[in-house]
Amino acid sequence: LRLNEIDKAATHYQESISLDPTNGKTYYQLGQTLMRLGKKKEGAEAIAKSKPLLDLNQKESVLLDKLVVAPHSAKVKYDLGNVYFKLKLYYKAKNWFRSALEDDSRYSDAQRMMAEADKLAAEPEVTKDDVARIRKTVQESYDRTRTPLEIRSDCKDVPKK
C-alpha cells in the first residue's frame, strides 16, 4: 500500500472505532496501521486497547455459541450480561440480566447487576444516517483489503458482452 492509502486506512479504522468502540480487532488493525505510518506511540496505545477488548469479544462469541446449545441457561445469559457490562454496553447488559432472571427469578447476582446496569443504561439512539455511515465504512474497509486477484476472481462468472 502507498502511504496515502495507509493514511486513509487509519482514518477509516478511527471512524469505525467511533461507531463501535468495543471491537478489539479494529483497534488492533488501527495500531498496526499507525505503526506502518511511523506513529509508534499511538500504534502501541491502540494495540494495548485492543487486548482486553479482544478477550471480551472472544468471551462474547463463546457465550453466544453456548446459548445456541443451552438457550435457557441463566448462567450463560448472566455471563453475557457481564461481558456487555464490561464493554460499557449497559443497555444490552441489562437485557441479558433480565433474560437470566426470566430463566431463574432467584438469581440474586443477576438482580443486582441488572439494577446496576439500569442506573448506567440509556436507550441507544441509532439513526438511519448512522446505519448508512457504518455500512459505507465497512464496505470501504472490505474493498481496501481485497487484492486485485480476488476482485478478478469475482468477475470471472460475469458473462462477457
Specify the range with the lowest mean pLDDT, choosing from 46-50, 111-115, 151-155: 151-155
For the residues 21-49, what does the mean pLDDT come to?
94
Highest mean pLDDT among 9-23, 127-141, 147-161: 9-23
pLDDT surpassing 50 at residue 123: yes
pLDDT surpassing 70 at residue 88: yes
Give the cell for residue 84: 456487555
Specify the range with the lowest mean pLDDT, choosing from 62-66, 94-98, 151-155: 151-155
Give the cell for residue 20: 463501535
- What burial class does residue 21 get, using C-beta atoms within 10 Å of its C-beta: 0-12 exposed, 13-18 middle, 19+ buried? middle
Q: Are 100 and 112 in contact (CB under 8 A)?
A: no
Which residue shows C-alpha cell 482514518? 11
47-82 tens-digit pLDDT? 999 999 999 999 999 999 999 999 999 999 999 999
